[in-house]
Structure 1
């Protein structure tokens, strides 16, 4: 099977030139069929990040798993063999890193972007989790990280407007805004 490295990585929105595709195959686990892209991440490291010595040698690979955003509905997983290095001077090990993969995370930024895009369409968290192939907790964590809390005021405005309103069912909510600029000061759900 002939693999075109660049086109495959562009398809799943991976831009790191140090990633090289080894194989693509389907895998069935727990009744779910997913596409698996197996790749290596390797580049020459010139000095140790701990002691800045140049006495580095290659020290095998570490297998890392990552979830990519789905293209046709099937989940896509990335198995990355990351190059490990050993420093002879300080004895520390370090590994290859990619801008497309967050350190110590299995969810790629593409999955987070897809989750936020679905959340902006007012879908439920369980629906978003099912569509992206992640857990409900991961979907909630991604969405909550993107929510910007209302700012705190150092002092209250001179003129305020208050209002209570029935927001959902029998629940009441409270809103307060600046009477002069009409900027929102606080909204409290009931």
Structure 2
């Protein structure tokens, strides 16, 4: 089983030591032949008191959608999450992993792939089909990641890139990237001047003046915004 566990983890690029794969099979799901990998998610210690003296209290089975290179053959992770009772503090808990959010059925890797696809000029429908998720899921990924980008933004890179991504109903969203490593700085719910200016004005002028370049297409609309925000192309 150790060899099988290692091989599946290598194939799926998974490193979580608390995830132990034991089997795999194929089944027909939503008219598509689906690969299913079975694993037990172990709870090594109590999340409250960190005691390793735990009493097993069953499992919770979750089917998680995972990355696939072939859209016609989806991949599911059948996670058997351990439920435990801490013998020290008596608290009940269930094993969790960074692979997927709590109570979520779509892996974080899949969400990241969806978000990366949103940076290209493509429709949400095509992105959803490629990743075996619904169009609403693609929209939720975009919406859920918008707030953390804003909340964590405390500085700006020296080189920025402005563009837009197409959303549900052909709606366009403003996206700002780090011009050096293409890391996403923010994605706004629209591409209106008022929204863009409001976002960047949350940064002090001293931070904005550190921006050396802004990469744009031929859209004069963004050029005017960059000039207005003191410190950009100034």
Question: Shorter-chain-normalised TM-score: which range?
Answer: 0.7 to 0.9
Q: Aligned to 2:109, what secondary structure does the other structure show?
A: helix
TM-fit CA distance, 1:28:
0.5
Looking at CA atoms only, which structure, 1 or 2, has the larger radius of gyration?
Answer: 1
Q: Could you tell me which residue of structure 1 aligns to residue 69 of structure 2? A: 71
* Deviation by residue 1:134-182 (Cα, 9 ceiling, x = unmatched): 1111111223425524325279x9xxxxxxxxx8xxxx99x54536957
TM-fit CA distance, 1:54:
7.0
> Where in structure 2 are there 5+ consecutive unaligned residues?
147-174, 176-185, 189-195, 206-218
TM-fit CA distance, 1:37:
0.5
Q: 1:39 to 1:153 in 2, by over 3 A?
A: same
CA distance in 1, matches of 2:83, 2:2: 27
Q: Aligned to 1:137, what secondary structure does the other structure show?
A: helix
CA-atom RMSD in angstroms:
3.4
CA distance in 1, matches of 2:15, 2:202: 44
TM-fit CA distance, 1:4:
2.3
| 8 Å contact kept, 1:15–1:100 | no
Q: Report the count of equivalent residues.
A: 168
| Superposition pairs of residues 115-126 of structure 1, within 5 angstroms | 115-126=114-125
Q: Aligned to 1:63, what secondary structure does the other structure show?
A: strand
TM-fit CA distance, 1:62:
1.2
Q: Aligned to 2:104, what secondary structure does the other structure show?
A: coil
1:22 and 2:22 matched:
yes
Tell me whether 132-141 or 142-151 shows the greater mean CA deviation.
Answer: 142-151
